[in-house]
Structures are given as C-alpha cells and as structure tokens.
A and B are shown apart, each in its own frame.
Chain A
Amino acid sequence: MSSPTLYGLCGAVLVGLGLFGLIVHPQPLRKIVAFNLIGGGVFLLFGVVARRGAAAGFGGDPVPQALVITGLVVAFAATALAVALLLRLFHETGRATLRSDG
C-alpha cells in the first residue's frame, strides 16, 4: 500500500462524505461546504494519479497538477457565485433554504 494509494482511498472517502453532506444538509451554505469537500476529494484523486505518474525527474506528472490548479480556481469562482446568490436570496426573502417553494 504505497502512500499515493492511501491518499487515493482518502480522496474516495472524501467524495462520498461530500456527496452525503450535499444530499442531507438543508441549508445551502452547508451544501456549498459539502461541494468543496467533494472538490477536494476529486482533486486528491488527480494528485494521486499525478504522483503515480512521476517520471523524467519530476516529483509528479505536471499535467494533472496543472488541471487541479485550474479546477481549484474554478471551484472557488463557483463557491463565490453560490454564496453571493445565497446572501441575495436571504436579503430578499429572509429565508436561506431552497425548499421555500415546491
């Protein structure tokens, strides 16, 4: 059991955990935190693939690492937009749950 594989299993569990949090929590803010957890797990899997592809003098395959950096920035933009939408919904309706209407 090499250390990348260990982190790969850790990433797999994180994805499951995040998915559980996304489904179960009613508050959108908790859903956004859970979504970031899934993102962390998915990027960890990319990192494990990169580490296993270490060659030509690099500690890890630079291509998946670059993809993770791009993914992280996109995930942040998504979180920022979701939070802004949530706050605007709260200011408009005084409620912060999605189950307001059918």
Chain B
Amino acid sequence: MANSATAGGFLLVLAIVLPVMGALLSLTLGGRHAERIALILMPVGLTVAVAIAAVVWRAHNVLQYFVGSWDPPLGVAFRADGLSAAMIVTAALLISGIGLFARAQFPAQGGAKARAPLVFWTLLLMVWGALNAVFIGGDLFNLYVALELLTFAAVPLVSLDGRAETFAAALRYLLFALLGSILYLLGTGLLYGAYGTLDIALLSGRIHAGPVAWAAVSLMTAGLLAKAALYPLHLWLPPAHAGAPAPASAILSGLVVKAPFFLVVRLWFDVMPGLPEHAAAQVLGGLGAAAIIFGSILALRQARLKLLIAYSTVAQIGYLFLMFPLAVRPETGHPWATAAWTGGVLQAVSHAFAKAAMFMAAGLIAEALGHDRIAGLAGIGRALPITVFAFGLGGLSLMGLPPSGGFVAKAMLLTAAVAENQWWWAVVVLAGGVLAGGYVFLVLARALADAGEPLTLLSTISRSRQAVVVVLALCAVLLGFVPLRPSELLQIGRPGLPIAVFR
C-alpha cells in the first residue's frame, strides 16, 4: 500500500494546493499583496500544468495518485488522463492571460478601495484551484466538493461591482448552481448505495445498466446541465456573465461553465463506458441543438454587447453537447477514437480562448465609451483598432471560419456527423455557424462604421492590455492548425486502454 510520491503524483497535488494556498495567503495579507501573490503563482502554476501534460504524454498513460496513500474505494484518487491534461493547460494559460489583463482594473491597494482587488485576485486563484480539482478528481464526492468550491468562487465574481442588478443575477446563479449540486449529490448517493464505491475507475467496473444506474446518471446529468447552463436551464447565465466585470466574465464564460461539461463527459464516458443508450444521447444532442439555435437568435436580438456575448456563450455550449450523440456509441471503434470526441474537446478549448478574448475586448470598449450599447459603437473601430481586431478574431473562431480552432472543432463534428450518418447534427452545426456569423458581423459592422466626427474616449486604454486580448484571440486562431484527425493526446488513458498505475 506504500504509495511512493512519484514526481507525477506530487505535480497533481501541487496543481490543487498551490492556487488554494496562494488564495489563503492573499486573504490573510489583504488587498495590497493579493495581486503580487497571484502574479507570482501564475508562471509557477503554468509550469506545473505543462509538466503534468508532459508526464502524461511521455508515459502515454493515466497519471494516478492515491491521496494519503489510501487505496480506493476507501481513499480518494487523483487521475490525470489526456483530456484532463489538455484542460489543465488551457485553464493555466487562460488564467495567466486574464491575470495580466486584470492588473489595470484591479490594482493592488490597501484601505477603503481594497475590496475589489482582494476579492478578485483571491477568487481568481480559488477558481483556478477548483478547476484543477475538477479536472483531476477521481472520486465522485471529491468532485462534488470541487464543484462547490468552483460555485462559491464564481458567484461573488458576478456581483463584484456592487451594482443592484448584479445581486439579483448572482442570487439566481447561486440558486441554479445549488439545485444542480444537490441533484448531483443525490445521484452520487444512489450510486454509492448500489455499488459501494464512489471511485470512478472502480465504478466503471461494477456498474451495469439498470434502473438505479439510469436514475443516478440522469439525476447527476440534470444537475450538471443546470450548472453548465444548457438550454432550457440557461436563464441564469446571460445576466450573470454580462453583469460581472470584464475579466470575471472571461473566467465565467471561458472556464467555469466548462467544468460541469467536463464532468458530464467523465460521467458518460468514464463512469458508464459504452452503457448510455442512443436515445439518451440524442436527447442531450437535441438540447445542444436547441441551445445553438435559440442562443444565437437571442444573441442577435440583444441591444448590449456583453449580453450578446453572454447569449453567444449559451449557443456555443450547445456545440459541446453535440459530441454525445456522435461519440457515445460509434459505429466503429472506441468513442474516443471518433472525430466527435476531439471536436468536442477542441470546441471547449477554442471557445474558452475566443470567448475570454471577446469579453475582455467588450470590457475595454465599454471602459472607453462608457457604455456598451451596440447601436452606439460607431467609430470605435478607428479609436481602438487592436481591440476590435481581437474581437473579430474571437468571432472568427465562434463562426468556425478557417484558420481557427472553432473551424477545426466544427469540421470534426461535421465529419463525425457524416461518419455516424446522423446528418441532422451537421445541419445544426452549419446553421449555428451562420447565426454566429450574423451576430459577430452585426457588431463589427457597427464598430467599423464611420462616426462622422472623431470619437472622444473617456479613458485611454493602454496598449499592453489590448495586446493581451489579441494574444488570447490568436491562441484561439492558432488552434486552427491542429491536424484534422482524432488527437492522440486526448486518447491517453481512456477506459479501454490498460491503466499503468503510477503508484
């Protein structure tokens, strides 16, 4: 039972412990030091994330670690496979970018104005720790605690500005998230009652199709869909993500919404490999398609830029769930070998970068103009060319035009739809792309329109902040050069392959 602390295992623990201890330290030291602690931790956390990905890639196997050297089912296990490694690196990159962007908006200061900086930087680190805990958690209840950590770190971000309508948005978000968590917990309880363990690897061996398993998985999926704001449970998302300050919106839309999606993937592909029926997957795909259509249409009708981007998030989340009908029971081979598996994950990653860049660009525009009404955007293209260019790059990825990560993701979903001869998903993907094009060009047309006399900006936006936004948007575009075939990294450590245990 001796659990030699392998290099890999230590890294997994660091991925969670570092951000959380940093947050505790910044809570103790106060607003003056919170920013410095966060900025010191970002490169360290990035190297830990890249190191985890390297170890997983070199070993070509799951990196497993038993906490307290207790073997499951008694103890809790951390597991990092290819999928979690990709998400951990994405989270580290994005949070570092958002941190650099947010320095101007939440400068380090003591005294009366210290509330927002202290709360933002502490919550930023907590969100990071919670995300890493979700990505490498191997035990269903440990994942519940990680989800709660994520929810409690995300809700205060919504009402950070202290405006009245953000409190209502934060309260609605909290109620939806709590209902989701309690349904997830109920499903976990049923699984423990039936199979006597909460460890994902052990469960996948013991679980068999039956009413208890169906009830548990459907409850847990319903709970996670409420937290991931999939249509029709998306009501809380637009006011919450639009009301939050720009860097907070970027984290919420880019990363926090992806964690429940990640757990639905864990649930359907790891806890119950090969068991979910086609009908259930079609329902999930149908909800995704509805999210794409309604989200995009609602986005087209928005008057404010941040609300438009928030509804675009609701739509893009729909794409993520198209992965299930195409990959749950493929015609040939394993689910993770299908193009839909890589397409879905790539959509999550590219959407994270693109949406973060768009929200930050919208934040800069709102800061410069003093408002974010789309009708009043005329001339901003001339005043803030770099920001609008970054917004366009992000839009590129949302529309799925080459060369962008969004294009590759949607192309793989299309090929998977054709391969699985479920052509209707292809129609939805294309329609979504056209609608996304609609609302992106709507904004760009207004922004690039000539405003007659030159625009007077309320405050000058420093080039460095705009550069960060462009870099993130470029990351979304660079993902477009990923080869158009199922990626090898994402197939590491799938249940079918034998797990070489790193004790």
Contact = CB atoms under 8 A, between A and B. Distances in A.
A92 B175 contact: no
Interface in B271-323: none
Given A22-B179, A81-B174, A92-B164, A71 B152 contact: no
A53 to B, nearest CB: 7
Interface in B185-204: 185-186, 189-190, 192-193, 196
A99 to B, nearest CB: 9
A15 B496 CA distance: 37
A77 B178 CA distance: 11
B contact patch SS:
helix
Given A38-B182, A81-B152, A45 B190 contact: yes
Contacts of A81: 152, 155, 174
A102 B382 CA distance: 35
Contact of B178 (A15, A82, A98): A82
Contacts of B189: 42, 45-46, 49, 64
Contacts of A48: 193
A9 B54 CA distance: 50
Interface residues of A, number: 34
Contacts of A35: 175, 178-179, 182
Nearest to A92: B164
A12 to B, nearest CB: 10
B168 A89 contact: yes
A71 B185 contact: yes
Contacts of B145: 70, 74
A93 to B, nearest CB: 5
Given A45-B190, A89-B164, A98 B182 contact: no
Contact of B148 (A67, A74, A86): A74
A52 B194 CA distance: 11
A45 B196 CA distance: 14
A79 B155 CA distance: 13
Interface of A: 15, 22, 28, 31, 35, 38-39, 42, 45-46, 48-49, 52-53, 63-64, 67, 70-71, 74-75, 77-78, 81-82, 85-86, 88-89, 92-93, 98, 100-101
5 contacts: A35-B175, A42-B186, A85-B170, A89-B168, A92-B164
- Rank and list the top 9 A-B pairs by shortest CB-CB distance, nearest first: A49-B193, A89-B167, A92-B164, A85-B171, A42-B186, A46-B189, A93-B164, A45-B189, A74-B148
